[in-house]
Amino acid sequence: MRQLCCILALLTIQACKHDGTDHSKDAHQSAEIEDELVSSEKGLIWHYDDEFEASQQDIYERWLTDVHEACTVTLGEYPFDMNVHFHKSSNRSVPVSFGHTRRNEFNELHFYVNPEATYDELIADWTAQHEMSHHSIPFVGKKFQWFSEGYATYMSRRIMILQGFYTEESFDSLYLNNIIDKKRFYSDSTLTFSEASAKLFKQSNYGAVYWAGSGFFYKADQLLQEHHNMRMEDVIKKYQDCCRLKDKNYRSVIRSFDEIINSDIFSTLSDQYTLAPCTEVMAAFN
Ligand SMILES: [Zn+2]
């Protein structure tokens, strides 16, 4: 459900236009708080878009600071500060009902949070790791949304291994089982994986694309270990340093990944996911 919300938000936001007033207000607030952050080196700037108790604000800031630290250790230093917006959620059944990113000049993260959530409940949730993962690569366009969501779905729990929520074994079985489970939605051999994913998005079957899309990174991670003695997060650490601010589209991200490892693992996988029948792509998971 939260994955569905994330997608809906992304689609809505892409159609959204900001007026100059909001931006200048945000820029002013950001500049003030940024001065404080130079010394603390947190890289996060807080915005409370709804009213929250001071004690709850302390919990949210500790939660996001800890997630940011885990993201930085796993994915490398982000070459920018991120503006974190907190909104009040009326859904009290989960700690975070909804999250989304805006990859604009403010590098925004938005979280709809339960005002009663405890630190322990928030830190065990995956939404923040998912949204912060999105910021470690550029926006690659709606056509490649399967890549973007597959990436955030895969990297979120790579980060949570460092936080102690998964072992390599539990991570592996969670992803493999979920990817295999989604094979049934990729049974039309006349469609590529990319085309089948676009169709599933139209049918609001977001979970299928998120998990199946993570298969691209699951497979890349396997090949990196076999041939390069590297993990996917090692590539991203280098990527954030060399190329995060340089690349502007899907093709340039794939090219940069290949240049980092001096191989063609990513362009070969990309060809499979965009040109071959989806049934062939999904047959690699069993
Ligand atoms: Zn997402």
User: pLDDT: is 8 or 278 the higher one?
Assistant: 278
Ranges assigned E (strand) in 142-183: none
**Ligand 1: distance of its center to the CA of 165 in Å?**
20
Quote the tokens at residue 77.
Answer: 């230093």
DSSP labels, 114-140? -TT--HHHHHT-SHHHHHHHHTTS---
What are the extents of the domains in the chain? Answer: 2-134, 142-283
**Ligand 1: distance of its center to the CA of 1 in Å?**
12
Tell me the CA distances in angstroms from 53 to 59, 66, 92, 164, one per residue in order.
10, 20, 16, 29
Q: Report, as an integer, the average pLDDT of 120-127.
A: 97
**Ligand 1: distance of its center to the CA of 131 in Å?**
6
Question: From CA 122, how far away is CA 128, in angstroms rounded?
Answer: 9
What confidence score (pLDDT) does residue 17 get? 25
**Ligand 1: distance of its center to the CA of 39 in Å?**
31
Tell me the CA distances in angstroms from 271 to 87, 144, 268, one per residue in order.
40, 13, 5
> First and final CA of the chain: distance in angstroms?
26
Please state the pTM of the whole predicted model. 0.85
Question: From CA 153, how far away is CA 163, in angstroms rounded?
Answer: 16
Residue 70 has pLDDT above 80, yes or no: yes
Q: Looking at the chain, how many residues does it have?
A: 286
Quote the tokens at residue 209.
Answer: 């694309």
**Ligand 1: distance of its center to the CA of 126 in Å?**
11
